[in-house]
Amino acid sequence: MKISVIGTGYVGLVTGACLADFGHNVICMDKNINKIEKLNLGEIPIFEPGLKEIIERNKYYKRISFTTKIENAIKESDIIYIAVGTPSKKDGSANLEHIIDVAYSIGNHMNSYKIIVNKSTVPVETGKKVEELIKKCLQKRNKKINFDVVSNPEFLREGKAVYDFTHPDRIVIGTENNHAKNTLKKVYNVLFLNNTPFIFCNRESSELIKYASNSFLAVKISFINEISLLAEKVGANIQDVSKAMGMDGRISSKFLHAGPGYGGSCFPKDTKAICDIALKKNIKLNIINAAIDANYNQKINSAEKIILEMENSKEKIITLLGLSFKPNTDDIREAPSLTIIRKLLKANFKIKAFCPQGMKAAKKIFANENNIQFYNDEYEAATNSYGIAIITEWHQFRAMNLEKIASVMNDKYFFDFRNIYSNDNNITSIFHYFGTGTVKKKLLKQNIK
Ligand code: UGA
């Protein structure tokens, strides 16, 4: 089957690469010349484990190619995936500008029957809108060409994108057209044969499933984050609380880890967008609105914890570890680290930062800021600091030599926002320890330089 994928962001590139790996011929299209040049040279513009190998393999077998020419991508394929960004507008609604551009291009260049598959996260009824735009273009061109617009949301997570795409919990296909349904079944034949559950529903349900799923997970995280605030005050340990809660099959342990707040390009954007979609239908989504507020507060609370606990520190120098919104990605969009950094800078802190992948993007954001410096590893970043905070749980921070870290620091404040070391019995012989939703533990024997 000949497939084109419009947009080579996280979703588009992973979709294109994995569909090629399923044996299809795939053209990945992006209007960003720089990105396409890189891809043609074998460079991958995003950090995503396993992706480079898949692209290399499929380039070798000539199953994947890259282009900036949307006209060719449309004409040369039977199925067109739309995987362009739908960022938030200032009012929280989803910006559909890129989707609309692609719909016009399809309408203007389409030469034969196509199935248009929308993978971007879009407000309910966008599929209908895309269909209308394409029809309008065809009418203008005086052409009578059949086509179908299907909704097929993607549930992959950044950092685990390849695994998630190839091992999905479910495939959702929103169409009432049998031909489109059967063709997509063939596209995902590898997964179908592996017994992946398929949900066939109408387009509106499919579009809503994506927003409802992301919002539910965001609510779940905000819920446990709020309980973590209470846990700290009453002397409970949030990890025990969430572990026991998660053992109840009705609740499940996934996405029940307290932390400094959720970030990324999806939860913050999609929670705002679903509230906007509902408002336009005169419905206020109270629970999701509350989760948005709770998440903002969680980021602020994390920064305030540092400010408050280090009030008596001789100097306000702190090391921040992990800037990306989660491990295994270079993405820092809406990352808790950004809110925490801004708040700390306002409180006159000097910041020494390290992140395995997130520094390139962070350096751009804080290019004019003298009070933040970036280092090559956690030990270098900790040198001469008075406090250290783990914001993102990269693997390498789970196995740090804490004695070594402490030995290069000037004071011993340790903020473990991801509770990596909360069960380490030795922690209080080295640090004043502050987790998220755990009782704070004072250093037993102070040994300050
Ligand atoms: C999320 C969804 O999990 C994917 O299913 C969806 O496809 C994707 O959005 C999307 O819409 O494109 P992603 O944003 O890549 O994926 O990352 P997650 O792994 O969901 O993490 C989001 C945030 O929640 C991170 O900041 C993470 O640290 C935080 N989180 C997650 C917690 O604070 N606690 C948890 O228990 C889980």
183-200 pLDDT per residue, tens:
999 999 999 999 999 999
- The residue whose C-alpha atom lies closest to atom 36 belonging to ligand 1 is 255
Atom of ligand 1 minimally distant from the CA of 214 = 2
pLDDT digits (tens, 9 = 90+) for 383-401: 999 999 999 999 999 999 9
Residue 432 vs residues 295, 337, 388, 422: alpha-carbon distances, Å:
26, 21, 10, 12
Smallest CA separation from ligand 1 atom 23, residue: 262
Is there an atom of ligand 1 within 6 Å of 238 CB? no
- The pLDDT assigned to 123 comes to 93
Is residue 448's pLDDT more than 60?
no
Question: Tell me, what's the pLDDT at 445?
Answer: 67
Query: Cα(32)–Cα(233) distance, rounded to whole angstroms?
Result: 50
Tell me which residue has its CA closest to atom 17 in ligand 1. 157
Structure confidence by residue, pLDDT tens digits, 36-63: 999 999 999 988 999 999 999 999 999 9
pTM assigned to the model: 0.94
Q: What is the pLDDT of residue 425?
A: 86
What per-residue confidence (pLDDT) applies to 263? Answer: 98
Token reading at 67: 């282009």
The closest residue, in CA terms, to atom 35 on ligand 1 is 255
Given a cut of 80, whether residue 449 has pLDDT beyond it is: no
Q: 225 in ligand 1 pocket by Cβ < 6 Å? A: no
What pLDDT band is residue 320 in, cutting at 50, 70 and 90?
very high
- Name residue, tokens 């993607």: 154
**Beta strand residue intervals within 13-99, DSSP E:** 25-29, 64-67, 79-82
The predicted-structure confidence for 147-170, as pLDDT tens digits, reads as follows 999 999 999 998 899 999 999 999
List the residue whose alpha carbon is closest to atom 9 of ligand 1. 266
Instruction: Please indicate whether residue 14, judged by its CB atom, sits closer than 6 Å to ligand 1.
Output: no
Q: Return the beta strands (E) in 128-240 as ranges.
A: 147-151, 171-174, 198-201
> What is the side-by-side strand order in the sheet with 25-29?
64-67, 25-29, 2-6, 79-82, 114-118, 147-151, 171-174, 198-201
What per-residue confidence (pLDDT) applies to 439?
87
pLDDT 10s digits, 353-367: 999 999 999 999 999
Q: 37 C-alpha to center of ligand 1: Å?
A: 30
- Residue 266: CB within 6 Å of ligand 1? yes
The confidence score (pLDDT) of residue 1 equals: 86
Residue 396 neighbours by CB distance under 10 Å: 14
Mutation pick for ligand 1 pocket among 47, 51, 239, 267 (CB with most ligand atoms within 8 Å): 267
| Ligand 1 center to 221 CA (angstroms) | 9
Q: Which amino acid is it at 128?
A: K
Q: Is 355 annotated as catalytic?
A: no
> Of the residues 241, 326, 357, 394, which should be mutated to test ligand 1's pocket, given the most ligand atoms within 8 Å of the CB?
326
pLDDT at 47: 86
On the question of pLDDT at 75 being above 60, the answer is yes
Indicate whether residue 156 lines ligand 1 (CB < 6 A).
Answer: yes
Q: Which of 250-259, 288-297, 433-442 has the lowest mean pLDDT?
A: 433-442
Terminal Cα distance for the chain, rounded: 67
